[in-house]
């Protein structure tokens, strides 16, 4: 038996939100008013499951929450069983199926913010608003780590309004309680309190020799003309000269590997997708960087959005994709606005759509917003999310290059990986490989937090010399919550070097911990994060993350050898038997803190 919302009807506002996205219903069979003609025959209803996430966003953005009536109407319009739609709506943290105010404040309590005093902000918010629940809630990493602690206010309306507070201090709580200025246009309004110029997020901005960050802080991110004057679309023209096979050959020879943490050779992935006889092929840009402490992709999308549009176009040309999806996390309203503008401008100027630059290439990009689910950073979970399913990882094989999005060959790359393709084609594979760049997200106890670009082979000490430590460095967390603590500052920042040191480069997180940070509280926050973000699909992760948190709570009160043994057994089980990387890495940081930092001695 399926779930039914008996008697539930959408409000006029909810109906208008859905109809604005999907268009007015054609008949009673897909949500319209019943007519005499509808009683004579049943119209054939085609399922449009992939529009479920945008439809949920449409209602949530307009009203602030998703009622039974709104969900029932969405199901009728898309021909989806209500039970399945309810399962999707309740999967994401940014949606609510219970009444709540239109304005909701999200206060980050994750690692970088916790290290910079988020607890005092959280307490002041609780004193002002009352217990967390409806008007405010604790949030995992908001990707504003260089200006921690951070908070994000989302207000539903026509259009919705977003306001970023970074840094958020106890003194700004009254300001957070106030509604942000309404937008006069038809597009979402985004305001950033305490904002400094774009280059503030990149301490190296304007320096010579930068490859990936060379335009940040020096080029107007909204201007396509400025982007082209600064070398934009040179790489795409070079790609057309080389041809699809030539582009893939350059990427292979460059040695570029994925920058999301898995480090799989990008050229091999592209080549495997291009060779698949099944069509159509799809391109997915993974811009759902939810790893605590990671914000490099956000900086690129906000400060150099056309670079990502151009890089996606090149990837599509090389792999034979006519459609690309840019899946971006819902906590990045400013990046969403910048990318929407860049995509629309590129389309209007003939750089997206049919016959790009007169070369016969047809390719377009659809931006899809996530809604608060760390697991959707996993490449197959993204497919499920786009298709309108719960964002749970799929078993592999088959691999995405064979059967990915909508069951078709799909190439998935994250933002940093894609923008590396531009200097590869501009400089040539050999010249690029001689100075291969990597982005690092430095936060915590440093004087100049931000995104840094170094060549592979630089040491952790060199990176910290650039950012400037503020006191005694007790440890550095490499790779975020899924990474490990290290104390050796002479580790070479390469995939091989960090692996040899029992750590991981991951997504480039470098969180510096000094003596003022309570490591037990930090470990508890990591455990809580993985418990909250586990999709629950597999038992080792679903149960293991809960048991890990329970053991850490007990150990924070009293050290017990039995709990330490239990932690190791649970951690090893998650590592060995979990379906995806979330469960496989949930024990890493805790293990390194126990073994290297002696947290519970």
CATH label of the domain that carries residue 421: 3.40.50.11540
Cα–Cα distance between 234 and 242 in angstroms, integer? 13
8, pLDDT greater than 90: no
Q: Do 288 and 424 have their domain in common?
A: yes
Q: Do 424 and 446 have their domain in common?
A: no
At 23 the pLDDT is 93
DSSP run (H or E) holding 272: helix 266-274
Q: What is the rounded average pLDDT of the residues 47-67? A: 95
pLDDT tens digit sequence for 100-123: 999 999 999 999 999 999 999 999
Q: Is residue 286 part of a domain?
A: yes
Instruction: List Cα–Cα distances, 511 to 201, 430, 514, in angstroms.
Output: 15, 32, 10
Cα–Cα distance between 450 and 200 in angstroms, integer? 8
Q: Do 273 and 414 have their domain in common?
A: yes
439, pLDDT greater than 90: yes
170, pLDDT greater than 90: no
At 34 the pLDDT is 63
Per-residue burial over 454-482, b if 16 or more Cβ lie within 10 Å, else e, is bebebbbeebbebbebeeebbbbbbbbbb
Q: What is the rounded average pLDDT of the residues 530-539? A: 94
At 399 the pLDDT is 94
38, pLDDT greater than 70: no
Q: What is the three-state SS of 557-594?
A: HCCCHHHHHHHHHHHHHHHHHCCCHHHHHCCHHHHHHH
| pLDDT above 90 coverage of the chain, percent | 81
Q: Do 416 and 482 have their domain in common?
A: no
Q: Do 180 and 296 have their domain in common?
A: no
The DSSP secondary structure of 294-320, one letter per residue, reads --HHHHHHHH-HHHHHHHHHHHHHHHT
DSSP code, position 388: T
Residues in the chain: 601
Q: Do 311 and 426 have their domain in common?
A: yes
Residue 19 structural domain: 12-90
- Closest residue by Cα to residue 472 from 510, 511, 444, 514: 514
228, pLDDT greater than 80: yes
Q: What is the rounded average pLDDT of the residues 432-442? A: 96
Q: What is the rounded average pLDDT of the residues 522-546? A: 95
> Looking at 55, 90, 125, which one is the last position of a domain?
90
Q: Do 242 and 341 have their domain in common?
A: yes
Q: What is the rounded average pLDDT of the residues 135-140? A: 93
> Looking at 405, 432, 459, which one is the last position of a domain?
432
At 41 the pLDDT is 53
pLDDT tens digit sequence for 447-493: 999 999 999 989 999 999 999 988 788 999 999 999 999 999 999 99
Q: Do 544 and 404 have their domain in common?
A: no
At 226 the pLDDT is 97
Q: What is the rounded average pLDDT of the residues 261-290? A: 95
Mean pLDDT, rounded, of the chain:
91
Q: Is residue 216 part of a domain?
A: no
pLDDT tens digit sequence for 280-298: 999 999 999 999 999 999 9
Q: Is residue 33 part of a domain?
A: yes
Cα–Cα distance between 208 and 196 in angstroms, integer? 22
Q: Is residue 443 part of a domain?
A: yes
Number of domains in the chain: 5
Cα–Cα distance between 30 and 80 in angstroms, integer? 11
CATH of the domain at 463: 3.10.20.600
Whether the link from the prior residue into 252 is cis, omega within 30° of 0, is: no
Cα–Cα distance between 527 and 345 in angstroms, integer? 43
Q: Do 179 and 191 have their domain in common?
A: yes
- Closest residue by Cα to residue 297 from 325, 327, 342: 327
Cα–Cα distance between 141 and 281 in angstroms, integer? 33
At 430 the pLDDT is 96
pLDDT tens digit sequence for 371-427: 999 999 999 999 999 999 999 999 999 999 999 999 999 999 999 999 999 999 999
Q: Is residue 95 part of a domain?
A: no
Q: What is the rounded average pLDDT of the residues 304-317? A: 98
Q: Is residue 97 part of a domain?
A: no
Top-confidence residue, 134 or 541: 541
Each as own residue / partner, the long-range contacts of residues 405-410 (CB below 8 Å, 24 or more positions apart, any chain) are: 405/282, 405/284, 405/325, 406/50, 406/282, 408/278, 408/279, 408/280, 408/281, 408/282, 409/273, 409/276, 409/278, 409/279, 409/281, 409/282, 410/273, 410/281, 410/282, 410/283, 410/284, 410/383
CATH of the domain at 548: 1.20.1440.230
Q: Is residue 487 part of a domain?
A: yes
Instruction: List Cα–Cα distances, 433 to 26, 93, 429, in angstroms.
Output: 56, 41, 6
CATH of the domain at 176: 3.40.30
- Closest residue by Cα to residue 13 from 52, 67, 54, 51: 67
The structure tokens listed for 358 are 């007169």
Question: What residue has token string 């990502």?
Answer: 308
132, pLDDT greater than 90: no
> How far is residue 281 CA from its own chain's centroid?
23
Q: Is residue 338 part of a domain?
A: yes
Q: Do 234 and 374 have their domain in common?
A: yes
The answer to whether 255 and 436 are in contact (CB under 8 A) is: yes
Confidence category of residue 193, pLDDT binned at 50, 70, 90: low
The structure tokens listed for 486 are 């290290």
Q: Do 587 and 547 have their domain in common?
A: yes
> Looking at 486, 514, 542, which one is the last position of a domain?
514
The answer to whether 476 and 489 are in contact (CB under 8 A) is: yes
Confidence category of residue 1, pLDDT binned at 50, 70, 90: very low
pLDDT tens digit sequence for 489-512: 999 999 999 999 999 998 899 999
Q: Do 299 and 407 have their domain in common?
A: yes
The structure tokens listed for 451 are 């995104």
């Amino acid at each position: 038996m399926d779930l039914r919302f008996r008697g539930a009807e959408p409000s006029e506002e909810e109906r208008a939100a859905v109809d604005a996205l999907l268009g007015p219903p054609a008949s009673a069979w897909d949500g319209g008013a019943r007519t005499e003609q509808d009683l004579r025959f049943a119209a054939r209803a085609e399922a449009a499951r992939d529009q479920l996430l945008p439809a949920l966003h449409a209602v949530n953005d307009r009203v602030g929450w998703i009622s039974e009536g709104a969900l029932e109407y969405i199901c009728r319009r898309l021909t989806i069983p209500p039970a399945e739609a309810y399962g999707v709506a309740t999967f994401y943290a940014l949606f609510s199926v219970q009444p709540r105010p239109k304005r909701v404040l999200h206060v980050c309590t994750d690692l970088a913010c916790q290290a910079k005093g988020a607890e005092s902000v959280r307490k002041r918010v609780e004193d002002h608003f009352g217990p967390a629940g409806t008007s405010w809630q604790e949030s995992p990493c908001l990707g504003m780590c260089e200006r921690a602690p951070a908070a994000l206010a989302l207000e539903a309306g026509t259009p919705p309004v977003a306001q970023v507070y970074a840094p958020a201090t106890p003194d700004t709580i009254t300001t957070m309680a106030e509604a942000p200025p309404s937008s006069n246009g038809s597009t979402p309004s985004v305001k950033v309190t305490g904002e400094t110029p774009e280059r503030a997020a990149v301490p190296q901005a304007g320096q010579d020799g930068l490859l990936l960050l060379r335009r940040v802080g020096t080029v107007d991110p909204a201007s396509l003309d400025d982007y082209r004057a600064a070398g934009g679309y040179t790489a795409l023209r070079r790609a057309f000269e080389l041809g699809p096979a030539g582009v893939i050959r350059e990427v292979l020879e460059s040695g570029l590997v994925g920058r999301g943490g898995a480090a799989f050779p990008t050229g091999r992935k592209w080549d495997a997708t291009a060779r698949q006889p099944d069509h159509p092929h799809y391109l997915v840009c993974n811009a759902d960087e939810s790893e605590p402490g990671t914000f490099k992709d956000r900086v690129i999308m906000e400060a150099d959005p056309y670079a990502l549009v151009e890089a996606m176009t090149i990837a599509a040309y090389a792999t034979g994709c006519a459609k690309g999806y840019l899946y971006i996390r819902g906590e990045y309203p400013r990046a969403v606005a910048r990318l929407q503008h860049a995509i629309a401008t590129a389309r209007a100027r003939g750089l997206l759509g049919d016959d790009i630059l007169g070369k016969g290439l047809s390719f377009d990009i659809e931006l899809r917003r996530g809604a608060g689910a760390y697991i959707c950073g996993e490449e197959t979970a993204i497919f499920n999310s786009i298709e309108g399913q719960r964002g749970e990882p799929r078993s592999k094989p088959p691999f995405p290059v064979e059967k990915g999005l909508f069951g078709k060959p799909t190439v998935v790359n994250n933002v940093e990986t894609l923008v590396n393709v531009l200097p590869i084609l501009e400089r040539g594979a050999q010249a690029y490989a001689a100075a291969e760049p990597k982005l690092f997200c430095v936060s915590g106890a440093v004087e100049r937090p931000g995104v840094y670009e170094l060549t592979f082979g630089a040491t952790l000490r060199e990176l910290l010399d650039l950012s400037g430590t503020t006191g005694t460095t007790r440890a550095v967390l490499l790779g975020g919550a899924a990474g490990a603590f290290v104390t050796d500052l002479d580790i070479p920042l390469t995939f091989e070097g960090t692996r040899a040191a029992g750590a991981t480069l991951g997504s480039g997180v470098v969180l510096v911990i000094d003596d003022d940070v309570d490591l037990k509280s930090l470990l508890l926050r990591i455990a809580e994060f993985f418990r909250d973000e586990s999709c629950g699909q597999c038992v080792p992760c679903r149960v293991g993350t809960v048991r890990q948190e329970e053991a850490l709570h007990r150990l924070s009160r009293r050290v017990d050898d039995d709990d330490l043994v239990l932690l190791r057994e649970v951690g090893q089980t998650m590592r060995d038997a979990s379906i995806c990387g979330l469960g496989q890495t949930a024990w890493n940081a805790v293990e390194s803190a126990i073994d290297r930092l002696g947290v519970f001695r």
